[in-house]
Amino acid sequence: MATRDDTPLRTTRYFEEQVLRKKPYIRREWCAQVLSAPAMREPQANGRVRYWGFIAEFGGRALRVVTLADGETVLNAVFDRNFKR
């Protein structure tokens, strides 16, 4: 799935081997969707960046996508129960 500039979604080995294995319901295209049009963006103290977006296909729940400092390479993704619109 493409990101902001139509390049393939870049991911870490951790995301591929751990996150998707433990959470097979998370789709790469949802991560790309959140990165391309986030509802909110927040840099972390360690340089990583958090993005939130709402996934209609998953009941409108908020998906939090964490990237490396480059803002493009996906490290983690999780549905955030505490995020409010």
* 83 Cβ contact list (under 8 Å, min separation 6): 40, 52, 62, 64
Residue in this structure with the two tokens 């909110």, named with its chain if needed: 40
pLDDT of residue 4 exceeding 60, the answer is: no
* pTM to 2 decimal places: 0.89
Angle at 61 between CA 79 and CA 49, to 5 degrees: 50
Model confidence pLDDT, tens digit, residues 35-79: 999 999 999 999 999 999 999 999 999 999 999 999 999 999 999
